[in-house]
């Protein structure tokens, strides 16, 4: 089976594999959107067994009534709640103040809580509490058990160590208060985030598969391997963000500190590699985009190092990250708009579409700051759309890259075979020029001249050495040489033959010699003219070499007025190896041609043409 047949059988398998993944992802995204209509940090729709009724104040201000659907800011200072938890009947009616034994489940988004109940010691859920350590700085559920037996109002002091990202944290905590009924409660919370978490894992797995494909592509030198690396890495971190932003993550992974860290790192790295992917496809603005991406990478590295080497909480670095990411996004936005304006065809719409993830990030940052929603809701939706589009693009990229690689391998094989043939041709040509009788005749001429004309003998030795050097040097030169160099070799050869045949005339008209031609091309043609044309005359004879150029090609004409011959004899190339070798090297090295015209009794013309495009 040849290479072409292999490619035809391979492409459908690759296409079906990628199409299958794309189909699964389309279904996954559909289910994700259907099952998780809320924010990416959605809170489960639990039955509110209890609710808190009372007043609140911010930083010692005036007391205000807690109202259903009202907003209590969580980033404007410490908030104090005063009131009681009330029990709800299955129909939703209040049945009185709750004072049971079942703990109350509170959904806290990076909040520290201190409970004041009667004469009891304050109960603290805070970063300073050794029972919790840094675990209070996370999104999850915590429990508080009432002391019971008293209907006196309790106070809850709420401290937010951050000033960004959780403006609606108190609203969410009060809206989702429930009773912690052990396993049933935890199961209900986990199930509420299953769709998003599972599809996040699916994205991560596919990201790893794509990275495996990228590694394979790199090893076999596929052209678009870098694109696949960026694509796979972006998918991997987007999948991690989906999984760790799903509801109930604290029950899925009890290491709440790592949950916060993985969530923050995944969203940072997702945007970084998305930015790198955008830069990869830029053209005229690539240098500007590269500088922006490099500076963003340095900023991200510093931001990720802050919690390790300083007292800065990891969640607080998210604000620094947004501040660093926004300028980079603005630069990339400008680059994409510029590419859109200067690019023609369908590619310009790819640049325009690439603006969406940058705008969605800015929208998410603004909405999170205003408390309209939390996290990367818009970014996730845009990512899902782009992911499907990218998977469709891979249907073309990977098969085309593999086909291109296979074709390149075939061309490389053909090139090696051709080089071997050219080497054989050069050796054959060289050996054909150094026939024993030619060497014997030249040495004999040198011997005679030594006695009658020593200076001329010295000149002949010099030309003979130059001639031999030119022939042997051609073995190490697989590339074409300048026409001027080839003619120098021809002149050395003619000076040798002129000693033996002084009645022969040679003329040169070099109107153009600044182009390339395979070595040992003109000299063997001149030799053939002497051997098969002029030597068969009774006396004399003329050989003229002319070079010129037209608008599209370079031409070399070798003419003689020898005996001529019937050109039909050239049809049997087995008897004319020299001509076959010259033709083969001209075609392979400079895409040139060789044509022969001859008339018995009149003479022979040999025309060599070399396209000017071969010089490009």
Give the domain ranges of the chain.
Answer: 3-41+193-406, 50-190, 434-615
CA distance 232 to 249: 24
Q: Does residue 258 or residue 97 have the better pLDDT?
A: 97
Q: Is the pLDDT of residue 40 over 60?
A: no
Residue 12: is its pLDDT beyond 50?
no
Q: What is the pLDDT of residue 435?
A: 56
pLDDT tens track for 63-95: 999 998 889 999 889 999 999 999 887 777 788
Q: Give phi and psi for 572, each to the nearest 5.
A: -90, 90
Q: Any idea which fold 50-190 has?
A: Jelly Rolls (2.60.120)
Structure confidence at residue 399 as a pLDDT band (50, 70, 90): low
Report d(CA 37, CA 35) in Å as an integer. 6
Tens of pLDDT, residues 356-367 = 889 988 888 888
Strongest mean pLDDT among 58-62, 221-225, 348-352, 421-425: 58-62
Q: What is the pLDDT of residue 416?
A: 62
pLDDT tops 60 at residue 32 = no
Mean pLDDT of 183-204: 85
Torsion of CA 67, 68, 73, 77, to 10 degrees: 50
Q: Is the pLDDT of residue 3 over 80?
A: no
Does position 203 have pLDDT exceeding 60, yes or no?
Answer: yes
Mean pLDDT of the chain: 79
Question: What is the per-residue pLDDT across 251-291, written as a single tens digit (0 to 9) for each?
Answer: 887 777 778 888 889 999 999 999 999 999 899 999 999 99
Q: Do 50-190 and 434-615 come out as alike in CATH topology?
A: no
Per-residue confidence (pLDDT) for residue 313, from 0 to 100: 76
Q: Which of 404-408, 424-428, 542-546 has the highest mean pLDDT?
A: 542-546
Q: What CATH number does the domain located at 3-41+193-406 have?
A: 1.20.1070
Token readout for 470 is 């030119």
pLDDT of the residue at 616: 61
Integer angstrom CA distances of residue 424 from 279, 469, 571, 577: 48, 19, 22, 12
Q: Which residues of 111-146 are buried (b: 16+ CB within 10 A; e: fewer)?
A: bbbbbbbeeeeebbbbbeeeebeebbbbbbbbebeb
Q: Residue 566 has which token pair? A: 């019937």
The H or E element containing residue 413 is helix 377-433
CA–CA separation, 89 vs 390, rounded Å? Answer: 51
Q: Is the dihedral of CA 342, 343, 349, 350 positive or negative?
A: negative
Q: With 70 as the cut, is the pLDDT of residue 477 above it?
A: no
pLDDT tens profile 308-359: 888 787 778 888 999 999 999 999 999 999 999 988 877 788 888 889 889 9
Predicted pLDDT at 190: 83
Q: Which pair of structure tokens corresponds to residue 539?
A: 């006396």
pLDDT digits (tens, 9 = 90+) for 435-453: 555 666 667 677 677 877 7
Let me know: does 51 contact 175? Beta carbons within 8 Å. Answer: no
Percent of the chain whose predicted confidence (pLDDT) is above 90 = 23
CATH of domain 434-615: 3.30.565.10
User: Is residue 135 pLDDT above 80, yes or no?
Assistant: no
* Element counts in the chain: helices (H) and strands (E): 17, 17
Q: What is the pLDDT of residue 10?
A: 38
Alpha helix positions (H), 224-371:
225-244, 249-252, 256-280, 286-309, 317-342, 347-353, 355-370
Q: What is the pLDDT of residue 400?
A: 66
pLDDT digits (tens, 9 = 90+) for 503-562: 889 999 999 888 999 888 898 899 889 888 888 888 889 999 999 999 889 999 999 998
Q: Which residues contact 267 (CB under 8 A, 6 or more apart)?
A: 237, 241, 376
What DSSP string runs through 146-192?
Answer: ---S--S-EEEEEE-S-SSS-TTHHHHHHHT-EE--HHHHHHHHHHH
Q: Encoding tokens for residue 42?
A: 């959605």
Q: pLDDT category, 33, cuts 50, 70, 90?
A: very low
Question: Alpha-carbon distance 609 to 615, whole Å?
Answer: 13
pTM of the full structure: 0.58
pLDDT at site 421: 59
Which pLDDT band holds residue 4 (cuts at 50, 70, 90)? very low
């Amino acid at each position: 089976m040849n290479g072409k047949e292999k490619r035809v059988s391979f492409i459908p398998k690759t296409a079906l594999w990628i199409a299958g993944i794309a189909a699964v992802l389309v279904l996954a995204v559909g289910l994700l959107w259907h099952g998780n209509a809320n924010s990416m940090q959605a809170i489960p729709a639990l039955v509110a067994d209890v609710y808190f009724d009372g007043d609140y104040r911010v930083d010692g201000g005036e007391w205000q009534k807690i109202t259903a659907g009202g907003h209590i800011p969580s980033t404007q200072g410490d908030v104090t709640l005063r009131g009681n938890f009330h029990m709800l009947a299955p129909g939703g009616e209040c049945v009185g103040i709750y004072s049971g034994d079942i703990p109350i489940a509170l959904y806290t988004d990076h909040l520290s809580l201190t409970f004041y109940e009667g004469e009891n010691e304050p109960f603290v859920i805070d970063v300073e509490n050794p029972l919790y350590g840094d675990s209070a700085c996370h999104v999850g559920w915590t429990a508080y058990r009432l002391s019971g037996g008293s209907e006196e109002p309790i106070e809850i002091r709420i401290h937010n160590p951050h000033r960004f990202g959780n403006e609606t944290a108190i609203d969410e905590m009060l809206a989702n208060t429930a009773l912690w009924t052990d396993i049933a409660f935890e199961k209900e919370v986990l199930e509420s985030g299953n769709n998003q978490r599972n599809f996040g894992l699916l994205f991560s797995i596919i990201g790893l598969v794509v990275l495996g494909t990228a590694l394979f592509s790199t090893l076999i030198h596929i052209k678009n391997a870098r694109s696949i690396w960026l694509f796979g890495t972006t998918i991997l971190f987007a999948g991690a963000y989906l999984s760790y932003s799903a509801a109930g993550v604290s029950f899925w992974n009890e290491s709440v500190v790592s949950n916060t860290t993985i969530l923050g790192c995944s969203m940072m790295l997702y945007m970084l590699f998305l930015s790198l992917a955008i830069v990869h496809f830029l053209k005229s603005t690539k240098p500007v985009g590269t500088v922006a991406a490099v500076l963003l990478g340095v900023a991200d590295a510093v931001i990720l190092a802050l919690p390790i080497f300083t007292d800065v909480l990891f969640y607080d670095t998210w604000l620094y990250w947004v501040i660093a990411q926004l300028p980079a996004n603005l630069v990339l936005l400008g680059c994409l708009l510029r590419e859109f304006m200067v690019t023609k065809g369908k590619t310009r719409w790819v640049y325009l579409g690439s603006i969406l993830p940058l705008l969605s990030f800015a929208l998410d940052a603004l909405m999170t700051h205003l408390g309209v929603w939390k996290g990367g809701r818009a970014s996730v939706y845009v990512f899902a759309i782009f992911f499907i589009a990218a998977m469709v693009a891979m249907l073309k990229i990977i098969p085309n890259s593999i086909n291109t690689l296979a074709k390149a391998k075939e061309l490389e094989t053909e090139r090696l075979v051709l080089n071997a043939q050219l080497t054989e041709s050069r050796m054959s040509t060289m050996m054909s020029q150094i026939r024993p009788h030619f060497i014997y005749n030249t040495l004999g001429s040198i011997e005679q001249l030594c006695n009658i004309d020593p200076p001329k003998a010295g000149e002949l030795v010099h030309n003979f050495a130059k001639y031999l050097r030119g022939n042997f040097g051609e073995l190490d030169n697989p590339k074409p040489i300048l026409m001027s160099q080839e003619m120098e070799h021809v002149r050395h050869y003619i000076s040798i033959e002129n000693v033996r045949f002084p009645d022969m005339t040679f003329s040169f008209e070099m109107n153009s010699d600044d182009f390339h031609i395979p070595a040992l091309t003109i000299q063997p043609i001149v030799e053939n003219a002497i051997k098969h044309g002029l030597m068969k005359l009774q006396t004399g004879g003329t050989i003229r070499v002319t070079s010129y150029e037209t608008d599209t090609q370079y031409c070399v004409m070798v003419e003689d007025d020898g005996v001529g011959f019937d050109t039909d004899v050239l049809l049997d190339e087995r008897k004319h190896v020299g001509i076959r070798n010259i033709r083969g090297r001209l075609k392979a090295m400079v895409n040139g041609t060789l044509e022969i015209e001859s008339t018995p009794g009149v003479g022979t013309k040999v025309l060599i043409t070399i396209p000017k495009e071969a010089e490009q």
